[in-house]
Structure formats: structure tokens, C-alpha cells
Amino acid sequence: MNRRAALKAMVLASLPGVAGCGSRRDGKVVIRFWNGFTGPDGGTTLTLVRQFNRANPGIDLRMQRIEWPVYYRKLYVAGLGGRAPEVFVLHTDSLRRFAEAGMVRPIDDLVGTAFPVADIDQNVWRAAQLGGKHYGLPIDVHPLCLYYNRRLLREAGFERPPTDLAEFLAVARRITRASRDPEGVRWGFSISNPSPTVYSVMRQFGGEVFTSDYSRCTLAAPANVAALQLLADLIHKERVAAPFMDFDPWVGFRQGKVGMTWNGIFMLPDLQKQKDLDFAAAPVACLGKRPAVWGNTHNFCLRAGLAPREAEAAWRFIRFYSDHALDWAEAGQVPARRSLRASRRFRDMAVQSQCAAEVPYVTYMPQIPFLFEFQTELDLAVERALRGTATAAEALATAEANVNKIIARRSAEGAAEVRR
Amino acid sequence: MTGRRRQDWLGYLFVAPYLLLFGAFLVGPLLYGLRLSLFRWEMLNATPPAFIGLGNYREAFSDPNFWKALWATLRMVVWITPCTVLLALFTALGLHSLRGRRQGLYRAAYFVPTMLTITVVGILWRWFYHPDLGLFNSCLQAWFGLKAPWFSDAAWATAAIVIMTVWWTMGGPMVILLAGLQGVPVQYAEAATLDGAGPLQRLWYVTLPILRPVLLFTVALNTIGAFQIFGQTYLVTRGGPEYATRTLVHLIYDTAFQNYRLGYAAALSWLMFLLIGAFAVMQFRMLRER
Amino acid sequence: MKTPRRFGSRPDRAKPAGMGRLTLLEAAMLLGGLLFLAPIAIIVLTALKPDSEIVHFGSILPRHATLANFGRVLATPEEFPIARWFANSVLVSGATSLLVVTVDALAAYGLARLNLPGKRWVFGLIVATLMVPGQILLTPVYLLLAWLGWLDTYQALIVPAGAGAFGVFMLHQFFLAIPRDIEEAAMIDGCSRLRIFLQIVLPLSRPALATLGIFTFVGSWNDFLGPLVFLDSAEKYTLPVGVAIFQSSYYTEYGLTLAAGVICTLPILLVFLAFQRHIIEGIAMSGLKD
């Protein structure tokens, strides 16, 4: 029995009586579209969905938004029960989990020759691939970027943001200012998105978090330890980064008390609302020996087992969305297609066009089925080291041991090995 | 007419609708959960569920996350229950000495928080405890130049949960205790007064002994409730720092609905159920002997 | 007669000497009550602040009060159909109350009054489940609902709620307290048990039924975990889940999330103010078992 049949049997044994959907009324093809765009990006998507429905009278596209963590839970269970929507969004690091469960339809036949595949960056397109098939169309890349407070940098005597460790430390030191008055405090740096920030630096140091076949976790490798220790030292030794958790690193940046912070490009709309903040963005500085930055991609995917007519309609929507990715980029994204990035309109988006430079070396989280369990351990290790309750080496050693226990448990349970 | 004293099987028709629901949605799932706890069932793996006996329970006892969650829960229970019940008792005593309309008015004021949904309570207190913008730290900062590490220190985070929980749940025990106080016959207190007993003595020797069963009942109810804390940690501290405030129910939720380890989650649920059961039996024993 | 009246707990006291102490006590109670209400007042006041005042904390009172946050919460019905969620909450809570009151009243009457064989055993089992934490049933009930094909439907929220033991227990205690003579007189007149129940017992128990109904309504209105786990479609959400989703989408915009919280809370506060006597006395009743 192959994986899919096993899953199906299990589902039928446990959840009979669950009807699939995909109904039609008055000849219209009904396409349900789920995503987690509950923030400002949801408004953009809604506009695009309306446009699409107007332009395609034969299709009734219905969108639903659920916040990401709940979304993934519901999508997975709905998939098991055969209630998954026709079109849904998967982040690159979650793609494998759903593809291996047999819930996603490969899109290679639909892409065919009509879609300009070469327009998508190789690394991004490859990440949507598994066993030679592509399971989703990458719409965007959303890496971390370096947001900086232009006024604070200028006051400290810098005209441009730092690009390497030496410059980074110099800027951070010059900006940091202790004060008893909370309004007077200034921090050179704040870690407002901890695990992605740490992961970026680990990769900049050349660290890998798993062996290449995912059979063993290598979180405690020297490069990873050095990366995490560097960030912890920024807080505790250098004292140029805001203390972890006793200071809201993101609100602090919005309030103008922080010189630099690394956060997702998708946080841009939040900053644009802060009228009194003079900010700009740049690619994150390389604190190690090679450029790398955490990022992720929204892949638009189709449910496995679609009827040809549904698949055609769904693909038309995905294609439409990809073609309109510049509208999408306004909400704080970098389009995955180079031709769109070369457009005048995109080059006028200051932050987005800056971060587009990061696309070639963007690095995804490992594509493992037990992503949540891994992330729990990584988050904990990061938290311990940044709070200073453990050294980076201790924290990562514990995390590595725990992740290896998860791997051992899973292989004892006969879970198929993760293929690259 | 005379057959009324007979055993009345037909009367079960009255009870049948409830028993149907009771069986289908309470007893059934409870037993099904027990069965589930003996299986390895990982929805993330394609392998079908397999019987592993007590394997899940063995795993729990060697799982540091379980122990951490257990201690986090116990730490909260030992703070929340006494604080809530004592505060409720003092408030009830205070209210009892007021009269008529005003008593009702104050009683309502103390009770309002209990009516709020956990979502709103969570939004509210997460905002209060915010390290920079929060009300508490803003005031501490303005008055003393201090900041409390509400989210970053395990003891403070526990305190944060305890404070909001006491605020949120004190209304119920208070109302029950107040009703209990109103059941204390006035004559007893008057007799004690004639014997020259002061107010404190009357409270200690007359009121509290009569109130004892009600008091123990509220303690028992509150303990059971405190064991089940979830919304507060899920919404306010997110289980942090370093999972020091992730309670048992929170762990069960993560295990079942984030990691899809249904069998293991069922075993954790049953361990928690046994623990609560043991506490409850102990407390109801105390309730009975008097 | 000289009575040393020092304890301000009796309604017949009117001595000016004690008046001072009463006022002191009452002042303390008033202060405490305000303290308990303060968080709710603050959430409303903060929701009236523009974003810039929230990010730079100045005072508790808004300097430029604005309804903009409320406007924005209500302005995007496609994104956040608050009115729809509100209607869902009303529907689900109303249907749940109706179901619970009907089913529980029948069962409680049967168990309290009819001579059912083995009813002590049945009632004991029902009462014992009062201490089963609802969360441990989550996974099994989820699987059961999936099996029934009820996931993502309203009945998934309504029907399982009928299995709860609280209402049966509460009404059972209430029915026991109704004098038997009335029913026995009716019985001699040849009334059937159903007619006795409908025409005599039910009208007598109106306050208790109302209490249970309101109680269930509020519990269902505030339920968070159930809708979170059992519903998929945003158009079926109830208010608390909708507001939680709203909060997670705008977690950096405290003004908006607080405004959403206020909108979610207002109806329940109104229900409470209208029925507070019923609600509070109902809880008191549940605590004062035999």
C-alpha cells in the first residue's frame, strides 16, 4: 500500500461520511481559495479576487482567510477528510509536508510551455519541487530585511546602512545610548523576529541545521553556536541590542528608540502607518562569511484529484495572480518573477526593490514534516541564549538532542525518510 | 394510581434524550479517548494507528515537556486557588455586611469580569502587561522608574497569569460564599455576641465553621478549574518564557493540534484527568467529614 | 436593653457609632469594586484613542477621543463580518440554551421525582462527570463530529453542549426543593406525569430554568475552543473566534483589537445587566447543594 492509499484508508476508517465539495451551480465552476492573508495583505488579495471574478464569469472564486497557525491545522485536517479547497497557499517550508501526504496536485502539466518558468528565480522554483514534480507556483519571496531609522543613523554620522559585521557593530555602538528616562533610551539593534534572525546569521556563518538527508539534526554545530552566541553577545556583552523580552523590539523601532531591526518585508505596511518615523530598508548585513537571509515563499497550490474543468479554472486563477504580483508586492512582498521586478512600478517601491537583491541567496527553513516540533525546539534554544539563561552552546546542544529524539521516534514509528 | 411507588421504567423516557447526548458526547468520547491513549496515532505519518499498550504513558513520564507543564500547572494551582478563595471570602464578608440594593450593586461590580470571554480577557491583559506600552509598566515607570519583567521572568509571568485569573474568576466563588453567609442563622451570631464575643471571634468560631462545607466546595471547584487553565497562557504569555507557563491543557492542545500526535495527546489528557480526579476525591472526602 | 452591637452585619442596626465603620467598610468595598471594573473601563477608553496615543502612552484618558477604531473594525465586512459573527453567536447560543434547558429539565425531573430503577447510580455517574475537564474530550469529540459529517456546521457547537451535567445537577437540586404535596394533589386528580411536569413543575421552576438558560447562553457565547477547533468557514465563526482572528491579524494595532473586544463584550454586558439577579443567584444555587 503506498502512502496515499494508507492515508486514505486511515481517513476512511476514522472519518467516514465526510463529503467532498467542489459543487457547481448554474454551470459555474466553484473554486474555493484558502489562505492566511489576514493582515493588510488580505485586502489586496480580496481586490484581486474580485477582479478575477469579474473577468471570468464562468468561475465563482470564493476566498477564505484564516490566520496561519490555525490555517495550517485546518488545511491539513480538511485534506485528510477530503474537504480541502481547490486552491490554497503553502509556504515553501510546508510544501513537502502536504505534498508527501498526497494532498497537492503537481502543476507541471498546467504550466506546460505557456507559462514563462524561466522568469522565476531558479532557487525559488526548485524549492517548489519534490521528486521531479512541482507542487505549487511561487508567487513571491518575502525575506527578512534590515529596517533602519534614517534619522538615528544620520545623527550617529552614517549615511548608509551597514553591510558587514564591523560596520554593523560601529553603527550599533554609536546609536546606543543609556538613559534613566525611558524616552531617552536608544538601542542600536533589536531582535524583533528572533528565530529567522538567528537562522539567517547561522547560514551566514555557513551553518547547517540538518545533515543533507535530514537523518540527523546538527543545530549544535560550531558555526550555528557561534552565530547564536554573536547575537546573544550583542545583548549581554556589547550591550548594543535591546534586552530580550523586557523591551518590545518592534514597537520600540516604531517609536524611534531603535536604530536597526531585522524583520520580514511583510511588516512594511505596519511601518508605513507610523507617520512620524523616518525609516528605510536594505538587505540584511552579512555578519558572517557569506550572504544569506531567512525568507519564505507563498506557493499557490491545487488540491489533488481535481476534475479537469476545475483544475483548468483553478490554474487560470493562479496564473492571474502571478501576473498581478505587482499589486501583491505593494502589500510588502517581492514578486517571484524577474520581469515584474524589472518594471518601473516595482523599482519605485523603495523597500521592496531594495530587498529584491536578497532573492538569489534567500534560504528557506528545512522542509521537514515535523516542522512545528523542530521550530518549538529552535525557538526555545534561541530564547534561552538571548535571555542569557544558557550559553548558545548549551541551548543548542539541548535542542539538537531533542530534535534527534523526535527523528528517532519517527523512524521507530516507520515514518518514511525525508527525501531531498 | 396506586402503582406510583413501583419501579418506573417508563419514566426513563424523561431522561432518555439527555442520556443519549450524555452517552454520545461525554461518556463515549471519554472512553474513546482512553482507547486512543493506548495507540500510536500520528496524523503526520502515513502509518495507520497501532496498539502500543502503555507506551504513550511511559513516554509521558520520561518527557521533560510533560514534567515542565505539570509543574507549571501545579505552581498556578497553589497560587490561584488560595488567592481566589480568600479574596472571594473577604469580598463576600464585606458584601454581606452591606444592605439591599447597594449589596446587589457591588456584587454585580465584582462579578462583571467573570462574564467576559477569554478572548477579550486575553487582549486586555496582554496589553496591560506589555513591557513598554502596558498600563502596569507605564505606571511603574512613571512613579518609581522601574519596569517589571512580566513576560521574560518565569516567576513574574506566573504572577501575571495568577493575577488575571483571580480577577477573572473570583466572581463565582464570591457569589457562592455570599449565599452561604446568608444561610448562617442570625441567632447564632447574636448568641455569641451576648457571650461577649468580638467580631473576629464570631467570624472564627461561629461563621466560618458553619460556612465550612460551602468553603470546601468552592475550594474544590476552583482547584478543578485552576488545573484546566489554558486560554490565559495561550493568549497572554504564549506559554513563555521558555515554556515556564505552558500548562498541561496547553501542552495537550499543542500535542494534538499542532503536532497531530493524537494518541499521545489522549494519554496526556487521561493523566491530567486522573490527577484532577485524585485532587477532587481528596477534597470531597474532606468535605464529607465534619 | 444595652446590646453591644459592634459587628455591622445585621440589617436592623442604625447606631451612628457603627455608621462610621459601615461607611469605612463600604468605602473599601466601593474601591475594590471600582478596581475590578477599572480594566473594563480602560479597555473602552483605550479603544477610543487614536493609534499614535497608544504607541506613546501619555494618560489613561484619551486626549483626542475618536470612534475611528470602531469604524475601522466595522468597515470591512468582507474581511471581518462582525455582524455575521454576531448573528452566528446569537443563533448558536440561543439554540444551545433551548436544547440544554429542555433536555436537562426533563432529565432532572425524572431523576428527582420519578421512581426510576437505579437512578441513584445514574445520577451519581452524571454528577461525577462534572469534574471531567472539557478539554480532554476535544480530540475524541472532534473525531466523532468528523464521523457524523458535522464539522464546520452549527450543530457541532450546539448538540455536544447538551451532554453537560451542570444543568441536570442544578435543576435536580431545585426540583427536590419543590414541595411534593402539589404534585401529589394533581396526581390524585388523575394528571399524567407529563402533564404534571408541564403544567405544575415547569411554571414553578421558571426562575431556575431562566437561570440555566442564561447561564448556558453566556457559556456558549464565550466558548472559544469549540468554534476554534470545529469550524472552518469564516462565515460560520462566532464572535470570540472572530475577534481572536481579528486580533492575530492586527496584533500590532492595539486600538483596533481593543475596539473589537469592546464590540464583542457589549452584548454580553447588556445581558448581564438585564439578568444579573438570575445569573448570580443561579450560581449561588449551584454551590448550595444539600
* Interface check C106 vs A, CB under 8 A: no
Q: What is the pLDDT of residues A193-226, one digit of tens each?
A: 999 999 999 999 999 999 988 899 999 999 999 9
Percent of chain A at pLDDT exceeding 90: 63
Instruction: Give C252's pLDDT tier (boundaries 50, 70, 90).
Output: low
Beta strands in A235-342 (DSSP E): 258-264, 279-282, 293-296, 298-303, 334-335
From CA A361, how far away is CA B277, in angstroms rounded? 56
pLDDT in the model for residue C159: 95
Nearest by CB to residue C37, choosing from B27, B112, B133, is B112
Instruction: Enumerate residues 6+ apart whose C-beta is below 8 A from B113.
Output: B121, B167, B168, B170, B171, C36, C39, C40
Stretch 63-82 of chain B: residues touching chain C, C-beta under 8 Å: none
Closest to A332 measured CA to CA, from A7, A4, A32, A43? A43
Rounded Cα distance, A209 and A368, in Å: 12
Cβ distance A97 to B141 less than 8 Å, yes or no, reads no
Label residue A283 by pLDDT band (50, 70, 90): very high
Residues in chain C: 290
Gap between the Cα atoms of A323 and A317, Å rounded: 10
Q: Where in chain C is the domain with CATH 1.10.3720.10?
A: 81-287
The set of residues, in sequence order, having a beta carbon less than 8 Å from that of C125 and lying 6+ positions away, is B27
Residue B22 pLDDT greater than 50, yes or no: yes
Q: How many CB atoms lie within 10 A of CB C225?
A: 19
User: Which positions ≥6 away from B83 have C-beta within 8 Å?
Assistant: B162, B166
Dist CA A52 CA A314 (whole Å): 11
Chain B interface includes A183 (CB < 8 A)? no
Average pLDDT, chain B: 85
Strand boundaries in chain B, DSSP class E:
39-40, 50-51
Write down the pLDDT at residue A197. Answer: 96
Pick the residue from chain A with its C-alpha nearest to C140.
Answer: A14
Mutate: best of A373, A384, A394, partner B, most B CBs <10 A: A373
Residue A87 is predicted with a pLDDT of 96
Q: What is the pLDDT of residue C218?
A: 77
For residues A148 and A161, is the Cβ–Cβ distance under 8 A?
yes
Alpha-carbon separation of residue A86 from A20, A304, A319, B190, C62 (angstroms): 11, 8, 14, 76, 47
How far apart are alpha carbons A284 and B138 in whole angstroms?
Answer: 33
pLDDT of res. B198: 78
Element (H, E) at C227: helix C225-230
Determine the Cα–Cα distance for residues A110 and A356; give it in Å rounded to an integer. Answer: 27
Nearest CA in chain B to A247: B131
Name the percent of chain A lying above pLDDT 70.
Answer: 91
The three grid cell numbers given for residue A35, joined into one nine-digit string? 489562505
Between B98, B119, B193, which is nearest C244 by CB? B119
Q: Would the CB atoms of C249 and A250 count as touching at under 8 Å?
A: no
Min Cα distance C40 → chain A (Å) is: 24
- In this prediction, residue A415 has a pLDDT band, given cuts at 50, 70 and 90, of low
CB nearest A43 (choices: C79, C149, C252): C79
B257 by DSSP, 3-state: which? helix
Tell whether domain C81-287 is in CATH 1.10.3720.10. Answer: yes
Which residues does chain C have within 8 Å of residue A275's beta carbon, measured at their own beta carbons? 52
Q: Which residues of C touch A18 (CB under 8 A)?
A: 146, 149, 151
B119: closest CA among C242, C250, C234?
C242
Measure CB to CB from residue B94 to each of C28, C42, C283 and give the nearest one.
C28
Give the C window 40-69 contacts with B, CB below 8 Å: 40, 42-43, 46, 54-55, 57, 60
Binding partners of C (≥3 Cβ pairs within 8 A): A, B
Task: Give B224's pLDDT tier (boundaries 50, 70, 90).
Answer: confident
Structural domains of chain A ordered from first start: 27-139+297-323 (3.40.190.10), 143-294+367-412 (3.40.190.10)
Say yes or no for a CB contact (<8 Å) between A255 and C76: no
* Cα(B127)–Cα(B138) distance, integer angstroms: 11
Cβ-Cβ contacts under 8 Å for A89 (sequence gap 6 or more): A34, A35, A36, A37, A298, A299, A300, A301
Distance from CA of C101 to the nearest CA of B (A): 10
- Between positions 113 and 152 of B, the ones with CB within 8 A of C are 113, 115-120, 122-125, 127-128, 133, 135, 138
The structural domains of chain B, ordered by start, are 62-288 (1.10.3720.10)
Q: How many helices (H) and strands (E) does chain C have?
A: 15, 0
> Which of A4, A180, A380 has its CB closest to that of B242?
A380
pLDDT of B128 strictly over 90: no
Higher-confidence residue of A174 and B179: namely A174
C144–chain A Cβ distance below 8 A for any pair: no
If you average pLDDT over residues B42-63, what whole number do you get? Answer: 83
Q: Which residue has the higher pLDDT, B42 or A265?
A: A265
Interface residues from chain A to C (CB-CB < 8 Å): 14-19, 38-39, 42-43, 46, 64-67, 70, 74, 78, 81, 83, 250-251, 254-255, 270, 273-276
Q: Do B29 and C140 touch (CB under 8 A)?
A: yes
* pLDDT at residue A264, rounded to an integer: 92
> In this complex, do B179 and C287 lie within 8 Å of one another by their Cβ atoms?
yes
8 A C-beta contact, residue C183 and residue C116: no
Q: Do the Cβ atoms of B131 and A246 come within 8 Å? A: yes
Considering only CB atoms, B46 lies closest to which of A7, A255, A372, namely A7
Q: In one letter, which amino acid is A117? A: V
Integer-rounded Cα radius of gyration of chain B: 24
Higher pLDDT, C71 or A414: C71
Chain B residues in contact with C136 by the CB 8 A cut-off are: 30, 33, 252, 269-270, 272-273
Rounded average pLDDT over A318-342? 93
Q: Which of residues 114-173 of C touch B (CB under 8 A)?
A: 114-117, 122, 125-126, 129, 131-141, 143-144, 159-160, 162-165, 168
Residues of B in contact with C144 (CB under 8 A): 24-25, 28-29, 32
Q: B-chain residues within 8 Å CB-CB of C160?
A: 21, 25
| pLDDT at residue A300 in the model | 96
DSSP β-bridge partners for residue A107: none
| A:218-257 residues touching chain B, CB 8 A cutoff | 243-248, 251-252, 255
What's the whole-number mean pLDDT along residues C90-117? 92
User: What ipTM describes this predicted complex?
Assistant: 0.79
Which residues lie closer than 8 Å to C255 by C-beta, 6 or more apart?
C46, C47, C49, C50, C51, C54, C69
Instruction: State how far the Cα of A382 lies from the Cα of A386, in Å rounded to an integer.
Output: 6
Task: Determine, for residues B44 and A246 on separate chains, whether the beta-carbon distance falls below 8 Å.
Answer: no
Q: Using a pLDDT cut of 70, give the percent of chain C over it.
A: 85
Provide the percentage of residues in chain B whose pLDDT is more than 90.
Answer: 27
* CA B46/CA A414 separation, integer angstroms: 9
A329 DSSP 8-state letter: H
Answer for the pair A191, B156: CB distance below 8 angstroms, yes or no: no
Q: Do B46 and A3 touch (CB under 8 A)?
A: yes
DSSP state, residue A297 = -
In this predicted structure, what is the pLDDT of residue A290? 93
Q: Are strands A140-149 and A279-282 parallel, antiparallel or unpaired?
A: antiparallel
Q: Do C140 and B28 touch (CB under 8 A)?
A: yes
CA–CA separation, B22 and B29 (whole Å): 10
A255–C56 C-beta distance less than 8 A? yes
CA distance A34 to chain C (A): 10
C-alpha distance from C28 to closest chain B C-alpha (Å): 9
pLDDT over 80 (residue C36): yes
Residue B85 confidence (pLDDT) above 80: yes
Q: Tell me which residue has cell 487582549.
A: B123
Q: What is the pLDDT of residues A84-106, one digit of tens each?
A: 899 999 999 999 888 888 899 99
Is B192 within 8 Å of C3 (Cβ atoms)?
no
Q: Which residues contact A257 (CB under 8 A, 6 or more apart)?
A: A183, A185, A186, A187
Its pTM stands at 0.82
**If you average pLDDT over each of A176-185, A237-246, B4-13, C177-186, which comes out highest?**
A237-246
- For residue A78, pLDDT beyond 60: yes
Residue of B nearest to C57 (CA): B133
Q: pLDDT tens digits for A291-301?
A: 999 999 999 99
Q: Confidence band (pLDDT; 50, 70, 90) for C7?
A: very low
Please calculate the CA angle A149-A144-A214 and round it to the nearest 5 degrees: 155
Averaged pLDDT, C109-138? 84
Residue type at position B66: F
Q: Give the residue ranges of DSSP H helices in B145-261.
A: 154-169, 171-182, 186-194, 199-202, 208-227, 231-232, 248-257
Q: Least CB-CB distance to B224: which of C4, C131, C135?
A: C131
Q: What is the pLDDT of residues A211-267, one digit of tens each?
A: 988 899 999 999 999 999 999 999 999 999 998 877 889 989 998 999 999 999 999
Contact C37 B29 (CB under 8 A): no
DSSP assignments along A12-34, one per residue:
HHHSTTPPP---EETTEEEEEEE
User: Does C158 score more than 50 pLDDT?
Assistant: yes
The pLDDT, as a whole number, for residue A15 is 37
The whole-angstrom distance between A167's CA and the closest CA on chain C is 31
- Distance in angstroms (rounded) separating the CA atoms of residues A285 and C204: 76
**CA geometry: angle at A348 spanning A344 and A354, to 5°?**
110
Q: Considering only A53-67, A130-144, C103-117, C171-185, which range has the smallest mean pLDDT?
A: C171-185
Q: How far apart are CA B236 and CA B226, in angstroms?
A: 16
List, for residues B159-192, the tens digit of each pLDDT value: 999 999 999 989 888 888 888 888 777 777 778 7
Residue A173, C-alpha cell as written in the block: 555602538
Judged by a CB distance cut-off of 8 A, whether residue C191 touches chain A is: no
Q: Which amino acid is at C15?
A: K
- The enclosing H or E element of B87 equals helix B64-96
Cβ contacts of C96 on chain B, cutoff 8 Å: none
Spatial neighbors of A166 by CB under 8 A, at least 6 apart, are none
Whether residue C187 and residue B1 make contact (CB cut-off 8 A), yes or no, is yes
pLDDT at A181 over 80: no
- Is the pLDDT confidence value at C6 over 80? no
Element housing B278 (H / E): helix B262-288
Contact A139, A336 (CB under 8 A): yes
Task: Give the type of residue at A149.
Answer: N
CB A410 within 8 A of CB B45: yes
Q: What is the CA radius of gyration of chain C?
A: 24
Q: Which three cell numbers stand for residue A167?
A: 560596520
Residues C135 and B30: their CA atoms lie apart, in Å, by: 11
The residue-averaged pLDDT of A159-176 equals 93
Backbone angles phi, psi at A37, to 5 degrees: -80, 70
Which ranges of A112-214 does DSSP label H, i.e. alpha helix? 122-126, 150-155, 165-175, 194-204
pLDDT for the residue C211 = 77
For the stretch A229-235, contacts whose Cβ atoms lie closer than 8 Å and that sit 24 or more positions apart, written own/partner, are A229/A385, A229/A391, A229/A392, A229/A393, A230/A201, A230/A287, A231/A191, A231/A197, A231/A198, A231/A201, A231/A385, A231/A386, A232/A385, A232/A386, A232/A388, A232/A391, A232/A392, A234/A172, A234/A189, A235/A191, A235/A386, A235/A388
**Beta pairing, strands A59-65 & A28-35:** parallel
